[in-house]
Amino acid sequence: MQELGANKVICLSSTSQFTKTSSSTPAEEQTVQRLIDGEQQLRDWAAANQIAWTVLRPTLIYGRGNDRNLSEIVKIINKFRFFPVFGAAQGLRQPVYVDDVALACVQALYSDKTSNKAYNISGAEQLSYQEMVKRVFVAMGLKPRLLRIHLVVFNLALFFLRLIPRYKGWNADMVLRMNRDMVFDHDQAAADFGFSPQAFTLTDKDVGQALPLS
């Protein structure tokens, strides 16, 4: 970038550095620390080279069937025709469409107000985790079928699931977050570069294909 004469850099981070701070798993703790360290390294590098920087921190990104958030929900629904939820699953989410994230990068790049600042960017709509899943069912042309599982039962099952390589990364925090609010306002992004995301609306291209579970 220096050789090309860049004078401003837009980088994507994540609001996960705020929502996963209480995680009990080393992997997620490492993810949070990498996000924090990465942003600091960007600021240090930019300052040393007199390059302006802007960091965008999206919430849950979805869309076009190529994300690792809703696409995993689609995969489970396709396989089982139901989706397991834990507890009330009333934690609020604010999904942001992938196209809106891409547009935000362009808008921030060409705004004079965004230099050396970080912004949270989120979707236009707040909805509960279970409502988000129900809308995935509807977009797939299916009647919502949620299988409610008590947290105690899940913790017991988790011990055995983690013996299977595919599920070794699963942890209790993943389900506890279904009942935790993960919403962020994007007022500053709207004021500085006109960020105006769409509501949570799914089309065939968003639920028609899904990445395989890893």
Return mean pLDDT, the chain: 89
Query: How far, in Å, CA of 213 to CA of 5, rounded?
Result: 40
Give mean pLDDT, residues 89-106: 96
Q: What is the CA radius of gyration of the chain?
A: 19
Q: Please tell me the least confidently modeled range out of 3-12, 14-23, 122-131, 137-146.
A: 14-23
Give mean pLDDT, residues 174-184: 86
Q: Hey, what CATH topology would domain 8-197 get?
A: Rossmann fold (3.40.50)
3-state SS, 45-75, equals HHHHCCCEEEEEEECCEECCCCCCCHHHHHH
Tell me, what DSSP letter sits at residue 178? Answer: G
Number of H helices, E strands in the chain: 9, 9
Domain range summary for the chain, segments of one domain joined by +: 8-197
Q: Please tell me the least confidently modeled range out of 28-32, 99-103, 126-130, 209-213.
A: 209-213
Residue recorded with tokens 């869309």: 63
Give mean pLDDT, residues 93-100: 97
In this structure, the number of other CB atoms found within 10 A of the CB of residue 106 comes to: 11
Query: How far, in Å, CA of 61 to CA of 71, rounded?
Result: 10
CA-based nearest residue to 101, from 166, 177, 186: 186
User: Residue 57, exposed/middle/buried by CB under 10 A (0-12, 13-18, 19+)?
Assistant: buried
